[in-house]
Structures are given as C-alpha cells and as structure tokens.
Structure 1
Amino acid sequence: MDFASLLGIISGLALIISAIFIGGNADVFVNVPGVMIVVGGTMAATLLTVQFKDVLNAFRAAYIVFTRDKTNSSEMIDTMIKLSRISHRHGLLKLGDVKTDSAVLRRACNLLSEAASEQVIRNTLQNEIDSLMARHFSVQEVFRKMAAYAPAFGMLGTLIGLIQMLSELDNPEAIGPAMAVALLTTFYGSLLATMVFLPIAGKLKARTLMEVTNLEIIREGCISILTNDHYAHVYEQLSAYLPEAARKPITGGDKAKDVK
C-alpha cells in the first residue's frame, strides 16, 4: 500500500470535513441532484471522449498504483549487479535460468542468454519503454480529462440552480437556501478535481517516471553485461540514475534464484 497516498487522502478529507462541521450545519452540503449532475456528467463526458475500456484500464491502473509496492531504482540496480555477477562467473547462457516477476527483465535475460546483439537488445528495450509511456499516458489522460470536466459540470449545475432560483424571486425567503444549493455543484466539481482526479493523475505520472527509469536501468545494465563489463563497472554506470545520497556499496548474490 502506498502510505503517502493514504495519508494524503485521509488528511485532505479530514481537513475539509472538519471545516464543514466547524462552520455549522453539515446537512447543507448534501445535495443528491448536484452529485448526479457532477458525477454523472463527468463520467458521461469522459465516455464520450475515450473508449470504455480505457476508462476501465485507468481505474484499474489507479488501484494497482495505490495498492502495489513499487520497485525503486536502487533495488533494480542491485538486481542488475546480481545478473552481472551471474554472467561473469557462469556465462551469459546461465541468465536464461533467472526467475523474476518482471516480464521485461525476463525478456532481457532471454536475449542475453541467446547472445543477441547490442543493437537488438537496445531496440527491444527501447520499444518496451516507448510502449509503456504510451500506455501510461492514455491512462493519465483519462483522469486529467475528468479533472477538467468535473468543475465544468459543477458550474453547469450551479447555472441550473440559479435559473431555478430566479424563477422563485417572488419568495425572498427561499433565495438564500436556493443559492446555497446552487453553489454546491461547483463545490462538488472542485472537490473531485482537486482531491481525486488530479492527485491520481499526478501519482500515475510519478509511477510512470519511476518505471521508465527502471527500464532504462535494465537496458543499460544488459548492454554492460553483454560487453562483459565487471560488475563494479556496471554499478558505476548505473549509479548515475541515483542521487548521490542514495548510492550505496555494491551488494548481491551470484545465484539465479536471488533475482526478484
């Protein structure tokens, strides 16, 4: 579980809810028609813009990002050092026996064990990076569009409420409550955009950048292994992907089962 995301959601909602209760009656912030306009309108506009499967993929990706642990760059560098040691001691063919959860890393190990050329490995892994960025961009775009539509439908709901309010000007006592109800849809739209959709899009973008960095580490590490560089040299090349403070001494085993 991504605890930073959980902390952000809990703290943000707690602050908003606390402000509502401190300010007075919380019941005035509940308006079912307003929720229908904002949520329903946002989803309808999104489905008109992108395919239904893309919306499902976006919510599925958001769930994975917020619940699955991420592999940081330091761990990936450690993995490549282990592979370098295996290759240095047992040869490239041994890399074909490596067991790993990463489909890209497993594919890279197979290419190395088959003695593929440097250009083939570079092109193959670059294609993986490009396709990953394209897939992730389409997912992020879904939430960015929803963040744009939600406030727009909130304003639309406010306009509907104002029209209904103006039609009742002969009853001055009803103008105040009617105005509050009209403004609620703007509140709903802004809340969804700033507390839900934009943060999710930002989190997905951050995870994409991390995954791209990991794939670049795999690509450069595999090329170094192919040229029979010593694992210390491999580490020196890959450590450039880490900030100075995060660099640490080389660690790792020499068994294929050590790779995760």
Structure 2
Amino acid sequence: MDILSLIGMVLAFTAIVGGAVLKGAGASALWNGAAFVIVIIGTFAAIFVQTPMATFKRALAIVGWVFKPPISDSRALIAQIVEWSSIARKQGLLGLEPAVETQTDPFMKKGLQMLVDGIEPEAMRHMLEIELSTQEHVDQAAAKFFEGMGIYAPTLGIIGAVLGLMAVMKNLADPSKLGPGIAAAFTATVYGIGAANLVFLPMASKLKGIIARRSSDREMAIEGLIAIAQGENPRNIEAKLAGFLH
C-alpha cells in the first residue's frame, strides 16, 4: 500500500470540505447534481471519445497502482541476476531451466527462456528492447488517460458555471434565487478544478513515475541477462548493474 497516495487523497477531500466549512459555505454547498452531471459525466464522455478501447482497459488495469504499486526492489533483482550468472557459469545456460519455470514476471521469464535456448546476445537484446519499448508505450498511454481527464475537467467546470449563470439570468426578477443560483453555478468550477488538480493529474503523474521505474528495472534486467549470455563474471555483472541504483 502506498501510504502517501492514501494520505494525499484524504487530505484532498479534507481541504475541499474543510475549506468550504471554514469559508462559511458549508459542506452541503459542495453537492450539486447538475454540476456533477456536467463536469464528471462530461469529463468521462470527452475522454471516451479520445481513448481507444485497448487503452481504456489498460488504464483500468493499472489504476490500482496508485495505491498499491507493483513491487520494485532493484537490489533484490541484481542479487537474483548475479545468482543466475553463478548458476550459468557452474552448470551452463541449461542450468537456468528450473528458474524459467518458477519465474512469475512474463518479461523476465521470456529473457531467461532466451538464455536457455541459446539465442545470440544481440538478437536477445533486440527482442527484449522491442518488448520493453512496446509495453512502456502502452502503459504511458494508459497513464495519459487520467492526464486527459485532468485537462478536460476544468473546461467542463467552466461550462457548468456558464450554464448555471444562464439559469440565474432567467431569474433576475426574483432576487431570492440569485444567491443560491450563483453559488450552485460556481460549484461546477470547484468540481472541475478540484477533480483535475487533486485527483486526475496527480494520479497520472504517479502512474508515469511507476512506469518509468519499472522500465528502468527492466533495462537493468536486459543488461544483466545479456551479460550472462556473454559469460561475464558474476562480480563484474554486479558492479555493472549497481550503476542503475544511482
């Protein structure tokens, strides 16, 4: 569990509700059905038009990373690669076959299988780098799904405010409706700007950081697997991969 993401969401909710109470508007002023429909549903409508189905499905698959990111332990990965290199030097590349069966990461499993199959190092690097680049592109596009929502939400908030003010203008003859009407109009702006800057854009940034870290780990894994294929000394491999920790 990413405790900072959880704390951030709680603080975001507290900031909006607490601010409304302290300013005298009251928490009830934050709820407006029309504003919700215009801003939130409108934002989803806009992003659905923009997004291919495959990207939408991937976005749903990785949104949980905001609160529970994939385990990333670069030091443990280096130790694992060094262990594999020791096995390969003692037993040959075929000695890594049991490791292939126990590997749960599809990317690492594919790399290990290439080692066992005796694929040439440069061909192996080429194939793994293509897979890494493709996966990173897919994941970054999924992260931009939430970034897009952060871009559209404020604009929909402005549209909601304008529609609300249009309704107010129709009731100028009744002064008792002007205050509540204007307040309701600006609720849409709060929805749009708040959702963008406290939820959607931070989520996109968090996901992009996680994706970049995963790609860095996989780049390190590629270097390690290639070094094993080239028969490098385990200590040299460890020293080479340690550079990724910085």
TM norm structure 1: 0.89
Q: Which of the residues 221, 229, 234 maps onto 2:232?
A: 229
Between the aligned partners of 1:218 and 1:66, the Cα distance in structure 2 is 25
Which residue is equivalent to 2:22? 22
Establish whether residue 67 from structure 1 lines up as the match of residue 68 from structure 2.
Answer: yes
Is the contact made by 2:66 and 2:203 (CA closer than 8 Å) also made in structure 1?
Answer: no
Unaligned runs of 5+ in 2: none
Letter in 1 for 2:87: I
Amino acid at match of 1:226: A
Task: Using the TM superposition, give the Cα deviation of residue 68 of structure 1 relative to its aligned residue in structure 2, in angstroms.
Answer: 4.4
Counterpart check, 1:210 vs 2:213: yes
Which residue of structure 1 aligns with residue 110 of structure 2? Answer: 107
1:139 to 130, 142, 145: 142
Q: Distance in 1 between matches of 2:41 and 2:97?
A: 51
* C-alpha distance in 2 between matches for 1:48 and 1:191: 22
TM superposition outliers: structure 1 runs of 4+ over 6 Å: none
> Cα offset for 1:16?
2.5
- Please say if residues 69 and 210 of structure 2, whose CA atoms lie closer than 8 Å, have aligned partners that are also in contact: no
Aligned length: 243
Q: Using the TM superposition, name which of 60-69 and 22-31 deviates more.
A: 60-69
Q: Return 116-125 or 73-82, whichever deviates more.
A: 73-82
Matched, 1:45 2:46: yes
Comparing 132-141 with 61-70, which one deviates more in the overlay? 61-70
- The equivalent residue for 1:92 is 93
The alpha carbon displacement at 1:13 in A equals: 1.9
> Per-residue deviation at 1:89?
2.0
Q: Structure 1 residues 208, 68: CA separation in 2 closer, same or farther (over 3 Å shift)?
A: closer
Q: Does 1:191 align with 2:189?
A: no
Counterpart of 1:158, as a letter, is A
Q: Secondary structure at the match of 1:228?
A: coil
Q: CA deviation at 1:53?
A: 4.1
| Pair 94,65 (structure 1): closer, same or farther in 2 beyond 3 Å | farther
Q: How does 1:153-164 map to 2 (within 5 A)?
A: 153-164=156-167
What is the CA–CA distance in structure 2 between the aligned matches of 1:163 and 1:142, rounded to whole Å? 31
Q: CA RMSD in A?
A: 1.5
CA deviation vs aligned residue, 1:125-169 (integer Å, no higher than 9, x gap): 101111111101210121111111111111000000111111111
> How much has 1:59 moved relative to structure 2?
2.2
1:251 is aligned to none
**Which runs of 5 or more residues in structure 1 are unaligned?**
244-260
How far residue 51 of structure 1 moved from its aligned partner, in angstroms, is: 2.5
Q: Distance in 1 between matches of 2:42 and 2:169?
A: 23
The CA deviation string for residues 197-223 of structure 1, in whole angstroms up to 9 with x for no partner, is 111111110111111111111110011
1:203-254 Cα deviation digits (max 9, x unpaired):
11011111111111111001111121111100111011112xxxxxxxxxxx
Deviation at 1:64, TM superposition (A): 4.1
Cα distance change on mapping 1:122 and 1:147 into 2, 3 Å: same
SS at structure 2 position matched to 1:67:
coil
- Using the alignment, how far apart are the partners of 1:77 and 1:198 within structure 2? 33
The alpha carbon displacement at 1:32 in A equals 0.8
Q: Is the 8 A contact 1:125 1:215 kept in 2?
A: no
**TM-score, normalized by length of structure 2?**
0.93
Give the Cα–Cα distance (whole angstroms) in 2 for the partners of residues 68 and 170 of structure 1. 56
Q: Is the 8 A contact 2:146 2:201 kept in 1?
A: yes
Q: How far, CA to CA, are the matches of 2:5 and 2:66 in structure 1?
A: 10
